[in-house]
């Protein structure tokens, strides 16, 4: 295969020029910024996807165009590695450099990557491309395609899909269909068949009712759930709301989690109706409802992790096999959830830095690794030996009927899970399965434990990089003196906990605080925000504690 690398520069100069000196960084969620600044980045990520595929001996690489829970004006792009995981960390630096070099240096930078990574440019390079529903996604996808074809890669355009669907397609393609069929219909069928098998012929049980209201964040999740909903009947009735408006505007999982209030279209929902919300690209999911007093009640990623872990523990106990189950959290996990997992479920908990790539990597250390960020992004991973042990148990005639039945149920549960990445639709169906099996409504689920009041704030700063952290982002290293101030403040409140960390996408510092009472929690959060503003170079108005 002959590739003229001069065409890399020529195409960039003529069609995909770098029009801004704005530096953009590949973070946990890839590149993400205003869509107007992304054309040249998309072209270059098309180039990089081809290089990455060849560096991985011709395995399929994914390119997803999305800005997830960000406002509609934003867009972004991230690469998906062969096993469906996030891009290898060392290549994040390569991506950042490639995205930011001047057009005149683009050809030489590509040549440097080829040389340093020892890439065989004769290897075929298949690349899967997907995008969310933002109006600017199609033109950005075209830039990605141009980059792929410039280096003679082979693109497959899946059009509008959820982020988890693209991850799923990549794994299916790289495993020759062993994980499933790399088509939208194959994705639907795998999840729906597993769900219906677990649900059986009894659609309602105890306090559980089969109707659910679905907040689609006016994004791709709404679009795909409309197709899912028809196929799920009569097992589950899903009414899709927020399906035609402005993406993520006053709706979606991030809005519900951070604002802790009802999204658009849900203000007048009846008490105890089960509601679920996903984000703009459908990789996060949270539940919520209105209680009898008319109050908003949230069931976030922490709650999902504890619910699913309880279910898995029960099945493993019934099978009678020895499997190590662990739960992975971030610093954002509510302290009450951690206490419940350790003291009641008696399951080990690990804490890692924010970002699915960190949680996923840690979860691989267990036979069954369950991870969910508090924002609702997560999944469950089963090791190959664990799957083999469960399969063997399902076929072992020496075991009791109850044990074999539990093993078969666990196998169906595995098929319902998208193990490649957090998948809002897959996770929703899994939660519905567990609630149905338990005969619970959301109030019974919520009754597992009581959350500590918590709050997240943003502090605008001149440069977010002045904040550095350690201990899974729970301790601040720089600027000097900030952690000591935080420790002094936390010590003043019963069950107080707080930390700060830099945003991965904008010049803000994120502040998290929790305490035994709502009043203490608010005071703590704003006190921490004030010292952060003071010591980390805050800009704009200084945070002001609201009147309580």
| Active site members | 68
Decide if 442 contacts 428 (C-beta within 8 A).
Answer: no
Q: How many CB atoms lie within 10 A of CB 117?
A: 14
Sequence-separated (6 or more) residues with CB below 8 Å from residue 488: none
Helices 103-116 and 6-14: crossing angle in degrees, nearest 10, is: 150
User: Cα-flanking dihedrals φ and ψ of residue 69, to 5°?
Assistant: -90, 0
- Is residue 31 within 8 Å of residue 99, measured between CB atoms? yes
Residue 85 carries which DSSP code?
Answer: P
Q: Which of 28, 511, 66 has the alpha carbon at shortest distance from 252?
A: 66
Residues 6+ away with beta carbon under 8 Å from 391? 407, 411
- The SS3 assignment for 255 reads helix
Cis geometry, peptide bond prior to residue 46 (ω within 30 degrees of 0) = no
- What is the C-alpha to C-alpha distance for residues 415 and 406, in angstroms, rounded to an integer? 14
How far apart, in whole angstroms, are the C-alpha atoms of residue 472 and residue 474? 6
| Euclidean distance between CA atoms 419 and 226, whole angstroms | 23
From CA 373, how far away is CA 304, in angstroms rounded?
10
**Residue closest to 111 by CA, chosen among 33, 5, 204:** 5
Phi, psi of 155 (to 5 degrees): -85, 145
Do 272 and 290 touch, CB atoms closer than 8 A?
Answer: yes
CB neighbour class for 387 (10 Å; exposed up to 12, middle 13-18, buried from 19): middle
Contact 431, 308 (CB under 8 A): yes
What is the 3 state secondary structure string of 164-188? Answer: HHHHHHHHHHHCCCCCCCCCHHHHH
Alpha carbon distance, N-terminus to C-terminus of the chain: 69
CB count in 10 Å sphere of residue 65: 30
Report which DSSP code applies to 378: E
CA distance 298 to 445: 11
Contact 282, 162 (CB under 8 A): yes
């Amino acid at each position: 295969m002959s590739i003229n690398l001069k065409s890399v520069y020529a195409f960039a100069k003529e069609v995909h020029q770098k029009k801004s000196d704005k530096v953009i960084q590949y973070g946990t969620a890839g590149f993400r910024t205003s869509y107007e600044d992304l054309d040249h980045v998309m072209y270059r990520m098309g180039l990089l996807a081809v290089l990455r595929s060849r560096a991985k001996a011709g395995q399929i690489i994914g390119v997803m165009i999305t800005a997830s829970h960000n406002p509609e004006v934003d867009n972004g792009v991230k690469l998906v590695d062969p096993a469906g995981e996030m891009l290898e960390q060392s290549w994040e630096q390569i991506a950042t450099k490639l995205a930011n070099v001047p057009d005149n240096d683009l050809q030489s930078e590509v040549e440097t990557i080829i040389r340093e990574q020892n890439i065989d440019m004769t290897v075929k390079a298949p690349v899967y491309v997907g995008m969310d529903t933002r109006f600017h996604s199609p033109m950005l996808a075209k830039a990605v395609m141009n980059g792929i074809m410039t280096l003679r890669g082979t693109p497959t355009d899946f059009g509008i899909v959820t982020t988890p669907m693209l991850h799923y397609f990549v794994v299916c393609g790289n495993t020759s269909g062993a994980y499933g069929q790399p088509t939208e219909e194959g994705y639907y069928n795998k999840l729906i068949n597993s769900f219906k098998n677990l649900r059986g012929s009894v659609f309602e049980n105890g306090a559980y009712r089969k109707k659910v209201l679905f907040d689609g964040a006016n994004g791709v999740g709404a679009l795909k759930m409309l197709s899912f909903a028809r196929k799920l009947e009569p097992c589950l009735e899903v009414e899709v709301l927020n399906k035609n408006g402005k993406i993520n505007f006053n709706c979606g999982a991030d809005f519900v989690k951070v604002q802790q209030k009802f999204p658009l279209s849900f203000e007048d929902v009846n008490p105890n109706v089960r509601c679920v919300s996903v984000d703009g690209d459908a990789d996060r999911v949270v539940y919520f409802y209105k209680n009898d007093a008319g109050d908003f009640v949230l069931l976030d990623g922490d709650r999902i992790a504890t619910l699913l872990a309880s279910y898995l523990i029960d099945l493993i106990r019934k099978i009678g096999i020895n499997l190590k189950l662990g739960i992975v959290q971030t610093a954002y996990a509510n302290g009450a959830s951690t206490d419940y997992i350790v003291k009641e479920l008696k399951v080990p908990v690990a804490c890692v830095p924010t970002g699915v790539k960190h949680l996923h990597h840690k979860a691989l250390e267990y036979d069954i690794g369950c991870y969910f960020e508090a924002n609702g992004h997560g999944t469950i991973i089963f090791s190959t030996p664990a799957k083999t042990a469960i399969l063997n148990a399902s076929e072992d005639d020496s075991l009791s009927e109850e044990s074999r039945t539990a093993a078969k149920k666990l196998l169906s549960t595995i098929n319902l899970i998208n193990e490649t990445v957090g998948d809002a639709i897959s996770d929703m169906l899994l939660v519905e399965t567990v609630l149905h099996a338990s005969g619970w409504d959301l109030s019974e689920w919520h009754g597992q434990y009581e959350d500590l009041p918590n709050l997240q704030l943003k502090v605008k700063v001149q440069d977010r990089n002045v904040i550095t952290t350690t201990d899974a982002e729970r301790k601040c290293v720089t600027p000097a003196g900030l952690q000591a101030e935080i420790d002094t403040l936390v010590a003043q409140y019963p069950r107080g906990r707080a930390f700060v960390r830099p945003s991965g996408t904008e010049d803000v510092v994120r502040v998290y605080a929790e305490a035994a009472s709502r009043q203490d929690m608010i005071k703590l959060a704003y006190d921490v925000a004030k010292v952060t503003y003071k010591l980390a170079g805050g800009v704009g108005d200084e945070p002001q504690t609201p009147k309580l």
